[in-house]
Chains A and B, each alone.
Chain A
Amino acid sequence: MSATPSRSVSDQLAGFLRPAFFARLAVAYLAVGALILVCEPLLGAIVARGARDLVLLTSAMAYLDELAWGGEAFRVTTHLMSGHLSIDARAYWFMVGFPVGFAAALPGLASRAGVRRVLLALGVSLAAAAVMLALTADGQLLERFAGVQLHVNPPWRDMLVQKTVRRFWDLAALMYPFGACLALAWSALDEATPPRRERAFTRRSAALVVAAGLVLLAADRAADLRHVASRAELIPALQAANPQLGRIFLAQGRRLEQRGRLEDALRAYRLAEAYPGYQQRARAGRARVEARLRRQEGGP
């Protein structure tokens, strides 16, 4: 540790973040929290869509059926197994709410730079929440698949996801808001610099926003294409790598049939039919369920 103080950054931060700022931050954070409660369905749909695209883009196998927002939680379903997973939304809203509240509490909210700062914080925080949600969804699916010894990804990727989700989530969830606050405070200090620097900052940030938009658009298109391709091309590869899937789907079909979930059972039997050695039993199960469905609908 240096004995000669060189503390211009810390001095600036300490001079900038005064008690009045913390009072504004508390009020802004509560206001943003209330807004999030009101806009929850819209924000949930945006974050879930982004996360779904990320999972599809990064997964070796497109096993994800849907990652959607519904009633205070994100729901994940997969075409390989029945049921769904729920991921609580509050931690993600903290990632969005705190940096946005911080940006709103900084001086100069009424100025163009202040508005830009809040919008930037909102956009980046929503994207960060989508990345975190994608990792969590991936991790939970991985855990579920591991329970039935189903391999959907290369081992290195599974290990990476597991480590990321289990070890980094809590740190990242706190680190992102803290890091975003430091970056926002610095950007506010930059606003106070001479006009020439401010103009340069504006050009750079505009270019970054455009580039980020283009990347997101491209990622979105790529994810859609991959989703379509997955159905036709990736599932046979998955079936070849996991011959035990036929047994799993057959057992799943029987369980669902016993519980009276006939549509889901039909789906499981259809999936089991693709596996040699299980086709006969799967067809028998499918015929049985189809007959029950016809009876329920009042048919012959």
Chain B
Amino acid sequence: MSRDSLVFLVRFALSLAGFFALSRWDLFISRVREPYCEALATSVAAIFNTLGIQTHANGSSLLPVQGVGGITIVPECDGIVLLALFGAGVLAVPFARTARPWLLALAGVVLLVVLNWLRLAALAYTSFYHPAIFDSMHHYFMQGLLMIAVLALYVGWLRQLEPPEPRIEEGTPA
């Protein structure tokens, strides 16, 4: 393994460990993650009701007004782990201290938050109307989609860091 690979791995592991310790801190869970889960449930219910899918949010649970099904958004579902993976990948790469890489990373974080919201909405819809395939959707396909999204966003962010190709002047030997 080359020195660059080793440095990348060590920085990635240390950053991830830091994010992980923060995400499991009891105070962070009770003050940030649990209220965030409730906010996710409330916002999904609001959009569903607007679209005519009668839904009731109770704490961090989403229940249909009629019929069966429903989901409970626990802290493990809030997407913080995905943000930690993306954030650790960002911090693992040395880059120039300008605003652009940070803004792009922030855009990536926002996109992941939106994707996770869409995942929760899709899971709630599945639990209301197609409960038979809920487990497969939850544990297999949605996880895969999110992992592909994290990888794609990370690689997209890395590409934006690439320095512009040197301009070849006319008459200059290539």
Contacts and interface: CB of A to CB of B under 8 A. Distances in A.
Interface of A: 1-11, 13-14, 17, 22, 25-26, 29, 33, 72, 88, 90-91, 93-94, 97-98, 101, 167, 170-171, 173-175, 177-178, 181, 186
Chain B, interface residues (CB within 8 Å), range: 35 or more
B149 to A, nearest CB: 10
A13 B144 contact: no
B170 interface: no
26 contacts: A1-B95, A1-B97, A3-B97, A4-B94, A5-B163, A6-B4, A7-B93, A7-B158, A10-B8, A10-B158, A13-B158, A14-B162, A17-B155, A22-B151, A25-B151, A29-B148, A88-B139, A90-B135, A91-B143, A93-B140, A98-B144, A171-B20, A173-B143, A174-B82, A174-B147, A177-B147
Contact of B159 (A5, A9, A14): A14
A174 B80 CA distance: 11
Main secondary structure of the interface of A (DSSP, over half): helix
Contacts of A11: 158, 162
Nearest to A93: B140
Contact of A5 (B16, B20, B95): B95
A25 B148 contact: yes
A2 B94 contact: yes
Interface string B123-138: 0000000000001101
Contacts of A170: 76, 81
A14 B4 contact: no
Contacts of B152: 22
A173 B150 CA distance: 15
Given A170-B81, A186-B5, A90 B150 contact: no
B68 interface: no
Contacts of A94: 139-140, 143-144
